[in-house]
A and B are shown apart, each in its own frame.
Chain A
């Protein structure tokens, strides 16, 4: 069965610092991989996705993620964090059959300090 692990429940970074949020998945083949962001009281916004091809994918708001098959990881990065990036970040796996239902990790809450 597929599963997603986000080992960091809460991360605090200073504005302007770099960021890396970790995500590991468990699935028998290569799944579709996603990062979503949820601001307080808001829905889920897609940051970026990986289906195949280039393992470094670029997303919105200056985020990127790298798929590493050998580590079953899909870590999210941003070189310089802005205060508006404070939110909850969810990694998700999509099983590439049928309706591609998403399986989410437990999320990482990002706090940005001045």
Chain B
């Protein structure tokens, strides 16, 4: 069964550094998403991406964040200058028809 994959599973970075989180969505899917879950809190929507552009973004998704689909298979989330409060689990999701979203296993980002 096809699945969404994410790398790395755990990323440790220092405050102020740039990080890139990678996701490989299911191959025929058209909509892509990033969500995050701060430890002990609910899963929060960050951004959706369709037809090679951002579809919607939340207030969390400020100028420090960017997304890209560089090669037709990967979907990346870049945080330009990480802050302590960016520490969270980041989930990628994809869907063919914007109905059922399939989530990856997540990348745990720890900012020190």
Contacts and interface: CB of A to CB of B under 8 A. Distances in A.
A101 interface: yes
Contacts of B50: 99
A104 B31 contact: no
Interface stretch (B14-22, B70-78, B79-87, B96-104): B96-104
Nearest to A44: B103
Contacts, number: 60
B45 interface: yes
A41 B105 CA distance: 8
Contacts of B56: 98-99, 101
Given A98-B55, A99-B50, A102-B35, A49 B100 contact: yes
A106 B42 CA distance: 4
A44 B99 contact: no
What's the interface size class on B, roughly? 20 to 34
Contact of B45 (A45, A90, A102): A102
Interface of A: 32, 36, 42-46, 49, 51, 90, 92, 94, 98-107
Main secondary structure of the interface of A (DSSP, over half): strand
A99 B98 contact: yes
Main secondary structure of the interface of B (DSSP, over half): strand
B60 interface: no
A49 to B, nearest CB: 6
Contact of A100 (B4, B58, B99): B99
B33 A44 contact: no
Given A102-B93, A104-B43, 7 more contacts: A43-B106, A46-B101, A94-B99, A100-B101, A101-B48, A101-B56, A106-B41
B98 A100 contact: yes
Contacts of A100: 31, 95, 98-99, 101
